[in-house]
Amino acid sequence: MSRLGSVVVLVLVFAGGWCLCAADVGDFTPCLQFFYRSWPPKGLPGTPICQRYSNQYRFATLYSRPRRSPWFSAYLYTTPEGKRPSASWKFEPQLAYPGADGNMIPFPPGPPDQNVVDSQAVELDYINSTYTRGHLNPSLHHQSHEDRSATFTLTNVVPQKAGSNDGPWEALEQTVNKTLAAYCVGEAYVVTGIIPYQSEERWLKNHRVAVPEYIWSAYCCPHYNNSLPEELKDAFPTYAAIGRNDCNSTEEIVPVDKAAKKKFRGYDVRRMPLETLEMYLKDRFSTIISVFYERCSGSD
């Protein structure tokens, strides 16, 4: 009886915790506008975060607490203007304290609070590691200064090799920028996520933050300009890509261009239809992953 009682109390406390923070952690309801047809990707378990900055929702992230890194971030593309901001890195107080304000805040100078360190990645995890901070939602896909600054939260970041981040992956982000800016007429919904290693997880130096083997991205632009040039005929309404994050990975998913510059060799990006991406995701996660409602068939 007392055991049952404590279970009930525990469940209530737990449920209460989730309810308190439901506005920003644990529920995508307040930020469904970042998903095509208000339909978040299906198949991945994790902690939903509605990414709030300056009291506005900016994008959405499915976060993995055990990995201290995101599964994916979802956002609306807006044509960028101006330069990348020199924004300060931020964290999510509500991951550490369920009742906290849901706005991300810059890391204060000095050692961070232990509850923050326990609940998420901190700057020290990345400093002197052999990985850069790879944005899933990149600052260069946004127009407003605030939307760009909001991407600088470590919950939107995965350990990414410089050969990918400064090479083929950056080129992909720029190509998507040009393509969407030129031919997407209405909203463009983007989801960018990761594929973990198959057998054994890899971690940043302190064994706190998991390293992905691949990074993937897909967009859905239901309304586009029909006079597409030949090379972009298969790029609408939806398109996807997978990028290598480990130059030693096998080549079944993404082949390596042996003639690439040494700095970028082994970090290739392969463009592919959404169906092909979802096939690789299903293989690796052993479950069906659906990125967009009805695969962004545009039937609306």
Ligand X SMILES: *[C@@H]1O[C@H](CO)[C@@H](O)[C@H](O)[C@H]1NC(C)=O
Q: Name which position in 87, 247, 256, 260 contacts ligand X (CB under 6 A).
A: 247
**CA–CA distance, 184 with 297 (Å, rounded to integer):** 15
**C-alpha closest to that of 28 among 69, 66, 72, 65:** 72
Residues 6+ apart with CB under 8 A from 44: 62, 71, 72, 193, 285, 289
- Smallest separation (angstroms) from ligand X to the CB of 49: 26
DSSP 8-state code for residue 25? B
State how far the Cα of 128 lies from the Cα of 258, in Å rounded to an integer.
29
| Contacts to ligand X from residues 131-190, by CB under 6 A | 140, 174, 177-178, 181
Q: In this chain, which stretch among 18-26, 190-198, 244-252, 277-285 interacts with ligand X, using CB under 6 A?
A: 244-252
What are φ and ψ of residue 131, in 5° steps? -125, 150
Whichever of 225 and 250 has its CB closer to ligand X, that residue is 225
Q: Which is nearer to ligand X, 55 or 248 (CB)?
A: 248
Q: What angle do CA 221, 222, 224 make, to 5 degrees?
A: 75
Instruction: Determine which residue in the list 103, 246, 285, 298 makes contact with ligand X, applying CB under 6 A.
Output: 246
Site string for ligand X, 224-243 (x = CB under 6 A): -x-x----------------
Q: How far is the CB of 178 from ligand X (least distance, A)?
A: 5
| Per CB under 6 A, 127 contacts ligand X | yes
Binding site for ligand X (CB under 6 A): 79-80, 124, 127-128, 140, 174, 177-178, 181, 225, 227, 246-248
